[in-house]
Amino acid sequence: MKVTVDQDACAGSGQCVLIAPGTFGQRDEDGVVTLLHDSPRPGLQEDVREAARICPARAIRLTMP
């Protein structure tokens, strides 16, 4: 799984960080998503899928190699 984020689309809700903190972070100044790891290990992939699914701005994109 490959993860990308669209920081311009991000609403800063932080749901992704709550669900998958090992993959996503937030900038302190505005809460915009940051990507900590673009290829999460298999044990984290279900949480990353859930984070993408609930993102209100649809700022998280997942692709399969």
pLDDT, tens only, 9-61: 999 999 999 999 999 999 999 999 999 999 999 999 999 999 999 999 999 99
Rounded to an integer, what distance in angstroms lies between the CA atom of residue 27 and that of residue 11? Answer: 12
Provide the 3-class DSSP secondary structure of residue 28: coil
Q: Does domain 2-63 have CATH number 3.30.70.20?
A: yes
Whether the predicted model's global pTM rises above the 0.85 cut: yes
User: Alpha helix locations (H) across the chain?
Assistant: 15-19, 45-54
Q: What's the confidence (pLDDT) of residue 14?
A: 96
Would you list the domain boundaries of the chain?
Answer: 2-63
